[in-house]
Amino acid sequence: MAKPNLESREKILQKLSGLELVNCFQCIKCTSGCTALKLLELKPHEIIKLVNLGFVDELAASDIIWTCVTCLKCLQRCPQRASPYHVIMALRNLAVEREAKVPEGYLKAVSRVLETGLAEGVQDVVSRKMEIFNRENLKLPKIAYPKESFQAAFMKAMEER
């Protein structure tokens, strides 16, 4: 059976400076309004409870933390400033530190930021009349990608926790 790990719990609490996670009294306002509840069974109040009990290792290794759609309703409505959103983001950060499985989309976005400075690649689009358009033939200015020094600076930032 899983055992609580209070060291890991402390790690999450450190990342959440200022948020009163322990004050959660399970009113379930967060879960009742959660965008990801119906389709992906995310239950923010359970996440808070599990962190409070010290089951952080299990959560950091679980797929459930990647189902949050970041609509921010949970923390808006939380009467106790427990912010499930921030707890979930802290758990994701911890999962990355531990090299747990991270959805491909996030890895791709971050490597694109490192390569080009932007999280998305520039696309050609097709109009309703099936003509191809891009920034150039739409007469939009060229994208001002960051200068070379950005890459090293971003790498440095990625090394910090």
Partner 1 sequence: MKIAVFWGCRILTSQYAYEMSVRETFPKLDVKLVDLRETNCCGDPVKSMNDFAANYLAARVLALANNTGLEHLLIPCNRCHFVISEAKSVLAKNSKVGNRIVEILKEEGLVYNPNIKIWHTIDFLHDLIGLKSIKKAVSKPLKGLRLATHAGCQIIRYSELGRVDDAENPRKLDELVNELGAECVDYAEKLDCCGANLMHSHVDSALSLAGTKLTSVQSYGVDGLVVSCPDCGLMFDFKQKDAATTAGAKLDFPVVYYTQLLGLALGVEQEKLGLHLNQSPVDKLLSKISA
User: 45 Cβ partners below 8 Å, 6+ apart?
Assistant: 24, 26, 27, 28, 30, 31, 84
Minimum CB distance to partner 1, residue 3 (Å): 27
Helical H runs in 61-103?
73-77, 84-97
Name residue 89's amino acid: M
x/- string (CB under 8 A) for partner 1, residues 79-98? ----------xx-xx--x--
Other C-beta atoms lying within 10 Å of the C-beta of residue 77: 14
Are the C-beta atoms of 125 and 133 separated by less than 8 Å? yes
Given the structure tokens 């983001």, which residue do they identify?
A: 89
| Residue with smaller CB distance to partner 1, 1 or 17 | 17
Minimum CB distance to partner 1, residue 8 (Å): 17
3 binds partner 1 (CB under 8 A): no
Are the C-beta atoms of 135 and 122 separated by less than 8 Å? yes
Q: Specify the stretch interacting with partner 1 by CB under 8 A; choose among 2-10, 23-31, 50-58, 152-160.
A: 152-160
- Enumerate binding residues for partner 1 (CB under 8 A): 15, 17-18, 35-36, 39-40, 66-73, 75-76, 89-90, 92-93, 96, 102-103, 105-106, 109-110, 113, 117-123, 125, 127-129, 131, 133, 135, 138, 140-141, 143-147, 149-150, 152-154, 156-158, 160-161
